[in-house]
Copies of this chain bind each other. A is one copy, B any other.
Amino acid sequence: MLEISADDQVCTASAETPLLDIWAALPIGLYPPFPPVELPGGLGGLVTRGGFAQTFFFGAEVLGLSFRAPSGRLIRAGGRVVKNVQGYDLTRPFVGSFGLLGEAQQVTVRLRPGLGYAHHARPGTLDQPPEALPRFLWQDGSMLHAVHFGHVREVERVMAAFGGEPVDGSLDYRAAFPAGMGVGEHGPLWDLRYRWADGREAPEVPALFRKVAAAL
């Protein structure tokens, strides 16, 4: 299931939908809150891990979702229009919960407009991020990748500051994570939040959050 509303600038898809399927389905000039790369678990996996490569707050771009809690309960949280959202919303705790709250079923993300788009790569590391941050920034081995969209001139400015060469097409990183995507010291990918490694290791869970999970 993959539905895009250009008018409302939202996309709703089943959790297993590959990220690149969403990119392929978008109309010209609308962009999702993730870069054009394929990662384990599709959209649901991405949301469960709290995003990849975003230099903005990914949690705010997830408008709603349904998930199966560890108790077996199906929980619908958030929405896609204001009428569906009456408060008491459990969307954001799910984003970045690394499976502790259960398994995503369907996810709605916000789309944003832009007439310009670019993806560049160059040698570099995240220790020295560019001054003008692109919307998406990640390190793959010794290469730094930047993806930006928005006003044409703003994209030109960000990419001029970043340097590097244009990357055509999309990247599939799934083969780097045969045992699933988690955090870890020796992973092949970095972003500003984590180093991403093969396996399902999650960041340390605050005790308070465990209590919330147990309540669901």
Residues of A within 8 A of B (CB): 49-50, 54-63, 73, 75, 78-83, 85-93, 95-98, 100, 110, 192-193, 203, 205-206, 208-209, 211-212, 214-216
Contacts and interface: CB of A to CB of B under 8 A. Distances in A.
A57 B85 contact: yes
A206 to B, nearest CB: 6
Contacts of A82: 54-58, 192-193
Contact of A86 (B54, B55, B86, B193): B193
A74 to B, nearest CB: 11
Nearest to A69: B208
State the majority secondary structure of interface residues on A: loop
Q: How many copies, total?
A: 2
A32 to B, nearest CB: 14
B61 A60 contact: yes
A91 B93 CA distance: 8
A87 B50 contact: yes
Chain B CB within 10 Å — which of A49, A63, A73, A215 has the most?
Answer: A215
A50 B208 contact: no
Contact of A78 (B57, B62, B203, B216): B57
Contacts of A54: 82
A35 to B, nearest CB: 14
Contacts of A59: 78, 85, 89, 91-92
